[in-house]
Chains A and B, each alone.
Chain A
């Protein structure tokens, strides 16, 4: 009887080992398929130059970014297709970890207002850089661009090649969903 039970436990242990191994193999294949289908984004880091370590408020960004332990400012142009796809992704519900900086391609305020209106982005977390002043102070003219602020200071910047990537850069401790009202505040207070 004991021997039979021990044999069963051996078979079960072998089953667990094989199932775990199969699971690992399945995940590896999925990863390979994603790479083959070019579903792997390759964001490009952007040199911060003189903007490195600058405080959000000092360059004209919302003061709330200064108070956040971790925040991302997404710079969008009104004309680039990826920017519009990104804006569409956060349409009407900008997550709390994200601030938007809209750059009108033509420099006209009307164009930026239409962009904000079209994607229902109006709110405290959306800023329009009508005269290009903020972009000039940051010394960056790339869009779409993600600016990463740690403790209110600009720590790094990188391009956002797709909406997939936007969600992959979301803070790990926050769920990847577009329900800002349900998300905990990132503010230190």
Chain B
């Protein structure tokens, strides 16, 4: 059991970093979705744009910092602030009885803001607590290697989705191309419907 304790901290730190990197990078592609969340939460348009940039940058920066500076406490603290923000947004949506699409992981999901964000707050606290209790002690080089590994793993997870959609679009393109009536075709002229 005792030998497993450092591993718990390591696993918790990796989990925190991976979730934040996934959340941050999946929003980079469609930042306007997150902006819409802030607008739906009745934030002023101008502030919504700034808040979007701050949240995305924070998620990525904290994800990288958790891996490159594992002994530091501040990345875990900022991760908790972000988690508290997510829970707060969920609470606002619940109190207003509004259905606000979360876009927590970009286009990967389409759940609503609400109970889930609040229910996940203890999980964030647990992970951050475990990592803080037995912080990993790898160096910056290992941390950078972990960052690139996590990012490549996330990219690998996108490949099946990309292939599935590409196949669908390619089939449709071939079908459209061959289905287009040729300019010289006159077969439908004078044909009864």
Contacts and interface: CB of A to CB of B under 8 A. Distances in A.
A72 to B, nearest CB: 15
B25 A85 contact: no
Interface stretch (A6-14, A57-65, A123-131, A180-188): A6-14
Contacts of B192: 79, 81
A84 B161 CA distance: 38
A20 B188 CA distance: 43
Given A7-B144, A17-B158, A23-B162, 13 more contacts: A9-B144, A9-B148, A10-B64, A10-B147, A14-B151, A17-B25, A20-B162, A21-B29, A24-B29, A30-B172, A81-B193, A85-B188, A88-B181
Interface residues of A: mostly helix, strand, loop or mixed?
helix
Name the residue in A7, A27, A79 with the highest tally of chain B Cβ atoms < 10 Å from its Cβ. Answer: A27
Interface of B: 25-26, 28-30, 64, 106-107, 140-141, 144-145, 147-149, 151-152, 154-155, 158-159, 161-162, 165-166, 168-169, 171-172, 174-176, 178-179, 181-182, 185, 187-188, 191-193
B14 to A, nearest CB: 16
A76 B176 CA distance: 21
Nearest to B30: A25
A168 interface: yes
A163 to B, nearest CB: 4
A3 B141 CA distance: 6
Contacts of B64: 10
Nearest to B161: A24
Contacts, number: 122
Contacts of B29: 18, 21-22, 24-25
A78 B14 CA distance: 67
A27 B179 contact: no
Contacts of B178: 89, 163-164, 167, 176-178
A24 B30 CA distance: 11
B25 A13 contact: no
Contacts of B28: 18, 21
A168 B147 contact: no
A64 to B, nearest CB: 24
Nearest to B187: A88
A39 interface: yes
A165 interface: yes
A28 interface: yes
